[in-house]
Amino acid sequence: MADGSMPTKTVEAPVPPQQLDVPLDSPAIRRLIEEVRAEIVDVPRSYNRTFNRHNR
């Protein structure tokens, strides 16, 4: 098995929330807000279980 044979970096603890530089113009969040608003008025979602399924 390959387990343990490669060098890896230990994950550091995340930055405490109070020190987080919150991006006020995040494209990812803006997109999600628009998608949620669209769902409210029954506009088809950008992806769904029936047509965009991955593994599980």
Binding region for another protein (CB under 8 A): 1-3, 5-15, 17, 20, 22-24, 26-29, 32-33, 35-36, 39, 45, 47-56
Least distance CB 16 / another protein (angstroms): 10
Least distance CB 34 / another protein (angstroms): 10
> Exposed e or buried b for every residue in 4-20, given b needs 16+ CB within 10 A?
eeeeeeeeeeeeeeeee
